[in-house]
Amino acid sequence: MSGNRFNAYQDHGVGIGLRIPHYNHIFSKKPVVDWFEIISENFMCDAGRPMAVLDQILEQYRVVQHGVSMYFGSVTEPDPEHMKRLKTLVRRTGTPWLSDHLCWGSVDGAYTHDLLPLPYTWEAVERTVARVKQVQDYLEIPIAVENVSSYAAFTGSEMTEWEFLNEVVERADCGILFDVNNVYVSSVNHEFDPMEYVNAVPAHRVAQIHIAGHSKYEKYILDTHDHPVIDPVWQLYDRAIERCGRTPTLLEWDDHIPTFDEVHAEALKANRYLRKHSGELAEVSR
């Protein structure tokens, strides 16, 4: 059986992020796409063009919601109005699961609009688990937490990032949106073996996988989502699929966005690995 209880046992295949520059192409050409991931915050309104677009998409495509401001690790409570609007959108889209980031980004009502890393401490585990459970209970759908790329680490961390992720998802009994590009980016920035991370993730909890490109600078890598996926990231994806089996996969491309066909073609490269580990291909060839 493909899928697991964290993605509602769905075999969604390979999707791409729904982005404004592609609207005209999608509505005029009606391309075949396994699914679209939407950024929840872009559609948390009552009416207007965003909702008209969303309804049009929902008529033809499967949609999964991905958020960027839940801040599971923030110490301050989530905004009740935000949660209410999110639940309304969840009902509207029928998203089978909802993902957001394993990070923090707001405190005392101030929003940094950034995905900031947590110290990997037991205090942060407890805080994050409580928040994930709270959100999962309120929204009444499976939650998947996504590992973020990071550019700072804390001397007070008491465990590795993957140990922290494992503690959170086991205690909260939630799923994982496993971003293999983020693993690669952080592995370079913090000098760890990315394959050790991939091998440590509890495969039975991986609801979805993100792939993306990034930008390499002299001293660090930045998770810019503006390039094709590089080979080392495909290798991490290959291993992740080998461990997790067929898993809904999503290509993120958020800046210098090329044509719809280019983005979709890049995403569909994932099918090589999905087929490989389904026994349809003996070996991946590029």
Contact pattern for another protein over residues 136 through 165, marking x by CB under 8 A: ---------------xxxxxxx--------
Size of the site for another protein (CB under 8 A): 29
Q: Is 131 a residue that touches another protein (CB under 8 A)? A: no
Q: Is 220 a residue that touches another protein (CB under 8 A)? A: yes
Stretch that binds another protein, among 103-111, 134-142, 205-213, 245-253 (CB under 8 A): 103-111
Stretch that binds another protein, among 13-21, 46-54, 110-118, 251-259 (CB under 8 A): 110-118
Query: Cβ of residue 155: shortest distance to another protein, in angstroms?
Result: 5
Sequence-ordered list of residues with C-beta below 8 angstroms from that of 160, at least 6 positions apart, any chain: 120, 192
Smaller CB distance to another protein: residue 17 or 78? 78
Q: Is 119 a residue that touches another protein (CB under 8 A)? A: yes
Q: Is 112 a residue that touches another protein (CB under 8 A)? A: yes
Q: Is 193 a residue that touches another protein (CB under 8 A)? A: no
Among 110, 137, 279, 283, binds another protein (CB under 8 A): 110
Neighbouring CB atoms inside 10 A of 9's CB total 11
How far is the C-alpha of 284 from the C-alpha of 272, rounded, in Å?
7
Angle, CA of 101, 137 and 5, to the nearest 5°: 70
Q: Both tokens of residue 246?
A: 């067929």
Query: Cβ of residue 134: shortest distance to another protein, in angstroms?
Result: 16
How far is the C-alpha of 48 from the C-alpha of 122, rounded, in Å?
44
Query: Cβ of residue 67: shortest distance to another protein, in angstroms?
Result: 19
Distance of CA 209 to the CA centre of its chain: 6
Backbone angles phi, psi at 231, to 5 degrees: -55, -45
Query: Cβ of residue 225: shortest distance to another protein, in angstroms?
Result: 19
Classify each residue of 172-206 as buried b or exposed e, where b means 16 or more C-beta atoms within 10 Å of its C-beta.
bebbbbbbbbbbbbbbbbeeeebeebbeebbbebb
Distance of CA 169 to the CA centre of its chain: 15
Contact pattern for another protein over residues 170 through 189, marking x by CB under 8 A: -------------------x
> What's 21's DSSP letter?
G
Q: Given the rule CB under 8 A, which residues bind another protein?
A: 73-75, 104, 106-108, 110, 112, 114, 116, 118-119, 121, 123-124, 127, 151-157, 189-191, 219-220
